[in-house]
């Protein structure tokens, strides 16, 4: 077991290092940091999983950068909690809600504590964190060869973008947490099948459907966006962003269902998934499909299927 604990800790620490040092890996690969913790919690049991988590947390604490400690600490908490709740066979929806709520609360407490430590306060610390990430994104765009005019426009709009993102931060944190849980869950389930570990039976994930009652919060958030009040608009926008993430999951489940049913080759599926990730318009289309599935039931779940 000791060898596995060391291996799990090293793998997790290497993933953290890569995300911290290489911006493009950090933006795209941080969702995979919880995976080793979930895997080794399932393989080694609670004590072995706790040892891997503790070693990884010690490494994160040694990084010294307060914001990085909060960010990577939240991801490690996500992995440890997901591994524990999966071992306890929690229902999928309960697991996602519990993990997302806990990680959101931990991130808020972490930023508040860091603000107290630096004497800058919660909102100022949050604003600084947003600014730092915007500058990292801008440098990434510069390395990717974005045109000078576009870079200049982004630089001149930085203050406005920063203010908007601070207002949207609750939804951005919850939405990114939901996405990280989703990516980690899909990755772990595939990994478990390959190595022969037993994963909780969540049923066919391509049959997953959001509760129909979520339509009403979507309508309520849309109404709040029409109210001539900044606080109401901010609440409506935050709620709408989170709900769009939920319907994105449903849209992806529908897409996966039909791709598998039509036996589309794996390489074509991967290409399509990459296109959805890179093209916001296509992503919005997936969200729309997920939302309207509430009425149209595209997969005909609960109804007899016509022959293929």
Which pLDDT does position 297 carry in this prediction? 92
Residue 258 pLDDT: 94
Whether 215 and 177 share a structural domain:
no
* pLDDT < 50: residue spans in the chain: 304-308
Q: pTM, whole model, 2 decimals?
A: 0.87
Number of domains in the chain: 2
What pLDDT sits at residue 64? Answer: 66
**In-domain check, residue 74:** yes
In a domain, 191, yes or no: yes
Same domain, 29 and 89: yes
Q: List the alpha helices (DSSP H) in the chain.
A: 2-21, 23-29, 34-62, 66-87, 92-118, 122-143, 148-156, 158-195, 215-226, 230-261, 266-278, 280-296
**Residue span of the structural domain in which 52 resides:** 1-125+170-200
Residue 219: Cβ-neighbour burial (10 angstroms; 0-12, 13-18, 19+):
exposed
The answer as to whether 55 is a domain residue is yes
Say what the pLDDT of residue 293 is.
Answer: 94
Q: Which of 200, 215, 242 is a domain's end point?
A: 200
Q: What is the pLDDT of residue 27?
A: 63
Domain-terminating residue out of 162, 180, 200: 200
The pLDDT of residue 303 is 57
pLDDT tens digit sequence for 207-252: 999 999 999 999 999 999 999 998 999 999 999 999 999 999 999 9
Domain boundary among 152, 184, 200: 200
7 and 120 belong to one structural domain = yes
Do 99 and 232 reside in the same domain of the chain? no
**56 and 195 fall within a common domain:** yes
Instruction: Answer yes or no: do 66 and 85 share one domain.
Output: yes
pLDDT at 306: 43
Does 75 fall in a domain? yes
């Amino acid at each position: 077991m000791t060898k596995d604990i060391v291996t799990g800790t090293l793998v997790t620490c290497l993933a953290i290092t890569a995300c911290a040092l290489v911006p493009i890996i950090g933006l795209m690969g941080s969702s995979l940091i919880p995976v080793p913790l979930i895997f080794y919690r399932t393989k080694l049991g609670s004590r072995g999983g706790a040892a891997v988590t503790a070693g990884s947390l010690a490494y994160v604490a040694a990084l010294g950068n307060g914001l990085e400690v909060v960010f990577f600490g939240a991801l490690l908490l996500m992995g440890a909690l997901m591994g524990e709740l999966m071992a306890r066979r929690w229902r999928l929806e309960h697991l996602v809600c519990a993990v997302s709520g806990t990680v959101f609360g931990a991130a808020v407490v972490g930023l508040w504590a860091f603000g107290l430590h630096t004497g800058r306060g919660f909102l100022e610390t949050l604003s600084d964190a947003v600014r730092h990430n915007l500058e990292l994104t801008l440098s990434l765009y510069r390395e990717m060869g974005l045109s000078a005019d576009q870079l200049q426009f982004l630089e001149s709009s930085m203050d406005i973008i920063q203010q908007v993102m601070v207002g949207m931060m609750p939804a951005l944190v919850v939405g990114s947490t939901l996405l990280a849980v989703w990516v980690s869950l899909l990755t772990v389930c595939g990994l478990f099948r390959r190595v022969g570990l037993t994963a909780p039976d969540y049923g066919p994930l391509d049959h997953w459907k959001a509760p129909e009652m979520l339509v009403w919060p979507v309508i309520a958030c849309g109404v709040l966006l029409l109210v001539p009040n900044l606080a109401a608009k901010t609440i409506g926008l935050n709620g709408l962003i989170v709900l769009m993430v939920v319907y994105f999951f449903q849209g992806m489940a529908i897409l996966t269902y039909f791709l598998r049913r039509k036996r589309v080759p794996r390489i074509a599926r991967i290409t399509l998934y990459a296109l959805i990730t890179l093209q916001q318009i296509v992503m919005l289309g997936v969200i729309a499909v997920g939302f309207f599935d509430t009425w149209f039931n595209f997969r005909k779940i609960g109804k007899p299927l016509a022959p293929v």
